[in-house]
């Protein structure tokens, strides 16, 4: 599988005149090699030339674990703490002939540290962002990837169902307490990592789409929005549900019904060859028609996979056609300052003939 992906990557490198690609620990390195890793003060960089054997600059303490995932012909340039990493960069650049060449980098992921080391080790090189073309290789998921995402979604849904069964979301409890319970539930249900820090916001705080949970106690009559996800084999889920503590006000009920209809319209729009912006338009038309257009303040969705947010983006101005295997979120919301907000988010897969909503939690309003 990884050999096939590397072959496709080299084809794209040649088409874009990239002599060598430099990858950081993260989703792309995982996708092309299966190697997991994280950023630290010790730089790790994979160097993938369009022709010839790949190389890896890494601390010696990571070398043995890395070899289990990297191609057999990879050249390791391992450094010890006492020696520093500069020499490894110099040696790798010399052996790969990087001086004066065009090197593709992850503009959104590479740090200044690694970029400067590459420039110093390869005089005259030119660093180019790979984001215009590299995401294309990961956008359409294969059956193995989709299976992992189904597991991540199932784990996330069971975690929330655990909270509901335990009565964890109730007046008097704080947003932070519920968020902590949700994090524990995700681990107990099998999440292998934290997809992102869960959002749990109630009352006026729910009008802030990306607010973090606070020590504010939740109160009767308030909407409570939970945005959470799980990780399985590196693949992520991303879900949002809004509940009401007790009896909702007429305003909250009307907002909820509007967002629910927008969520359905956005999901039903998905099909092969549909421009991504049409998903946004389908959901946004419903909210605008109800008079809440000014309160829908973000895009309708984003791609989902090894990253919680990745291309394609469901936003006005993105004409990129969806294709079979693309997975993304549909998450319309209405946020009224001082009153509260409602967001309903599901994970969707484009199939050969249409779409499948992968998440199955009830969407209708539930009073707790």
Q: How much is the pLDDT for 234?
A: 95
Q: How much is the pLDDT for 2?
A: 85
Q: What is the rounded CA–CA span in Å between residue 160 and residue 229?
A: 10
> pLDDT for 113-172, tens place per residue?
999 999 999 999 999 999 989 999 999 999 999 999 999 999 999 999 999 999 999 999
Helix axes 175-189, 143-166, angle to 10 degrees: 130
> pLDDT for 46-102, tens place per residue?
999 999 999 999 999 999 888 887 878 899 999 999 999 999 999 999 999 999 999
Q: What is the rounded CA–CA span in Å between residue 300 and residue 323?
A: 18
Specify burial of residue 251 (Cβ count, 10 A radius: 0-12, 13-18, 19+): exposed
Sheet holding 223-228, edge to edge: 199-202, 223-228, 239-244
> pLDDT for 260-317, tens place per residue?
999 999 999 999 999 999 999 999 999 999 999 999 999 999 999 999 999 999 999 9
Q: How much is the pLDDT for 72?
A: 81
Percentage of the chain exceeding pLDDT 90: 94
Residue 27 has pLDDT above 80, yes or no: yes
> pLDDT for 232-271, tens place per residue?
999 999 999 999 999 999 999 999 999 999 999 999 999 9
Q: How much is the pLDDT for 20?
A: 98
231 and 194 Cβ atoms separated by less than 8 Å? yes
Domains of the chain (ranges plus CATH)?
2-137 (3.40.350.10), 140-357 (3.90.230.10)
> pLDDT for 186-219, tens place per residue?
999 999 999 999 999 999 999 999 999 999 999 9
What would you report as the CA-atom Rg of the chain, rounded to the nearest whole angstrom? 23
Instruction: Give exposure, 304-317, as e/b (b: 16+ Cβ within 10 Å).
Output: bbbbbebbbbbbee
Q: What is the rounded CA–CA span in Å between residue 326 and residue 276?
A: 11
305, 309, 312, 313: CA torsion to nearest 10: 150
> pLDDT for 312-355, tens place per residue?
999 999 999 999 999 999 999 999 999 999 999 999 999 999 99
Q: How much is the pLDDT for 43?
A: 96
Q: CA torsion sign, 108 to 113 to 116 to 117?
A: negative
């Amino acid at each position: 599988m990884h050999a096939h992906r590397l072959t496709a990557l080299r084809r794209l490198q040649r088409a874009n005149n990239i002599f060598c690609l430099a990858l950081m620990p993260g989703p792309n390195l995982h996708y092309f090699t299966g190697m997991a890793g994280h950023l630290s003060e010790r730089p790790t960089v994979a160097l993938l030339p369009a022709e010839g054997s790949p190389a890896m600059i890494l601390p010696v303490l990571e070398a043995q674990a890395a070899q289990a995932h990297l191609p057999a012909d990879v050249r390791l340039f391992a450094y010890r703490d006492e020696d520093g990493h500069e020499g490894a960069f110099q040696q790798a650049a010399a052996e790969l002939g990087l001086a004066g060449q065009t090197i593709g980098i992850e503009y959104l992921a590479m740090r200044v540290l690694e970029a400067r080391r590459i420039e110093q080790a390869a005089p005259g090189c030119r660093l180019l962002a790979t984001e215009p073309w590299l995401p294309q290789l990961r956008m359409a998921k294969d059956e193995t990837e989709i299976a992992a995402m189904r597991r991540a979604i199932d784990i996330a849904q069971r975690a929330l169902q655990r909270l509901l069964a335990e009565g964890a979301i109730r007046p008097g409890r704080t947003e932070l307490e519920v968020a902590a319970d949700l994090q524990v539930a995700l681990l107990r249900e099998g999440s292998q990592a934290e997809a992102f820090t869960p959002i749990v916001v109630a009352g006026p705080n729910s009008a802030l789409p990306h607010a973090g949970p606070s020590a504010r106690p939740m109160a009767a009559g308030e909407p409570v929005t939970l945005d959470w996800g799980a990780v399985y084999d590196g693949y992520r889920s991303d879900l949002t549900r809004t509940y009401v503590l007790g009896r909702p006000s007429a305003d909250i009920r009307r907002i909820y019904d509007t967002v629910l209809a927008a969520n359905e319209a956005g999901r039903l729009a998905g099909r092969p060859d549909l421009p991504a912006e049409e998903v946004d338009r389908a959901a946004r038309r419903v909210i605008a028609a109800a008079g809440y257009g000014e309160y829908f303040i973000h895009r309708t969705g984003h791609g989902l996979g090894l990253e919680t947010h990745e291309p394609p983006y469901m936003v006005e101005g993105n004409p990129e056609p969806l294709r079979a295997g693309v997975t993304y979120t549909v998450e319309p919301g209405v946020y009224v300052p001082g009153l509260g907000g409602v967001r309903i988010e599901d994970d969707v897969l484009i199939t050969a003939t249409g779409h499948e909503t992968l998440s199955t939690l009830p969407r209708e309003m539930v009073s707790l």
